[in-house]
Structure 1
């Protein structure tokens, strides 16, 4: 996140315990320009946090004239960490979509259906939220709707890099306890119980506009992830990005912002300036 962005904390009650959530607003100019601006909520990847988005949320929101909300999920960033003995179940993404995200929106007084931008795990969360709860529209970048062998192999390689040390040191800059997100995420994805995880049927219920993008060189998933979304959700627009890996907003930010601007200009009357 941009160094000038001020992060704040809010408290939600989640599954019977208080959880502190680190969050930040971006593009306040949109919120103060008369009528309340629609809000775009940014949902980070499996190892992400507010800080790891860098300046992308602000750049995108300024380009499209939306007020932006960025937050670190429980277990990430400066939010309440995962307890060492807490193991995430295969439905952990569903819990984030159906419990945590609505609680954050409610605590912040956001009553208008939000626009969602989700990356990787955050993309899956965005899809699950839109399939069940009111949503203005969804942008997903490198989302997962099924578990692929490529994904598992990529995560195993990431675990090896983490255990060698340098990756853990890098993640420690962005999380109060890097083991909290890393072990929560990797242990779940590599568990036998997760191998059959799929949200292909659930996302058929999505009725809002949807833009699904993925790099053609994504090391964690094939293009069948977003092509599967398009088969399940007919109003999906696909954007397959050349020379791009698993993080389109980092590898090709200008192309991503341009694609979102073009898409919103068609599907989001009133969302743009």
Structure 2
């Protein structure tokens, strides 16, 4: 199936919006981008375009169910929603787009999904993962910040601003926020997947991330047996691709050049 530049894919019962920049995923190495807990295709902004220009790869961006213009989801979300996304939805999506080989690049929730996929599915097509501000455990600072943004959403113009990017903004916000603030979610822990990751990992973390500490990075380094390259960005918060786009693009492009060329030389 040849993909258009924009469109939607039917995965199970959901319609997922997508955007493709560059070659078809079946014809070239592909970078599949996984957005944050309140993200969407549109909220990536120009970052996918800059990444495509820097790498020459195919770049595929999509909105998970409940986000952007994709189908809404039933609330409350199950507390293992990231595991379900990684192990049930993402494999079908990669097959549907004709993914031949390439990278997963995830931010926040998307980074967690990428890590779960890499450890939970031994996919020979996957050459590496880039984890931007990843979560592998729940920290106090995460819960505190997520509780604060709930109050902001309900008392300021944040809801109106987010509604520009989500067809059903309450479905997007409360699906994410409600799961993270559920007391049982404090037990969420995906470190068990890390030991099974068999591809290189690049972690990009802001030193001032308000949603997670460097403990997240340390756990990834401790638990992974594969190479882990860490880029700490001073003075940057939870969104390096927005706050330090040039440094973030360069880090990913350098990682892509090393991992994809290495894979090509071994094939």
Q: CA–CA distance in 2 between the matches of 1:6 and 1:180?
A: 26
1:262 to 234, 242, 254: 254
Return closer, same or farther for 1:6/1:173 CA change in 2, 3 Å cut-off.
Answer: farther
2:76 to 62, 82, 87: 87
Q: What is the 5 A alignment of 1:164-183?
A: 164-183=155-174
Which digits, 9 at most, give the CA deviation of each residue in 1:124-155, with x for residues without a partner?
Answer: 00000011221211001001000000000000
Q: CA–CA distance in 1 between the matches of 2:183 and 2:50?
A: 40
Question: Between Structure 1 and Structure 2, how many residues are aligned?
Answer: 257
Q: CA–CA distance in 2 between the matches of 1:256 and 1:268?
A: 18
Matched with 1:99 is: 88
Asked if 1:108 is matched to 2:100, the reply is: no
- Does the residue aligned with 1:104 lie in a helix, a strand or coil? helix
1:108 Cα deviation (Å)?
2.0
Q: Is the 8 A contact 1:45 1:120 kept in 2?
A: yes
Runs of 4+ in 1 over 6 A off after TM superposition: none
1:227 Cα deviation (Å)?
1.8
TM-score with structure 2 length normalisation?
0.92
5+ residue gaps, structure 1 = none
TM-score with structure 1 length normalisation?
0.90
Q: CA–CA distance in 1 between the matches of 2:256 and 2:66?
A: 32
1:270 Cα deviation (Å)?
6.2
Asked if 1:122 is matched to 2:121, the reply is: no
1:259 Cα deviation (Å)?
1.4
Q: Is the 8 A contact 1:22 1:79 kept in 2?
A: yes
Q: CA–CA distance in 1 between the matches of 2:38 and 2:136?
A: 18
5+ residue gaps, structure 2 = none
Matched with 2:176 is: 185
Matched with 1:138 is: 129
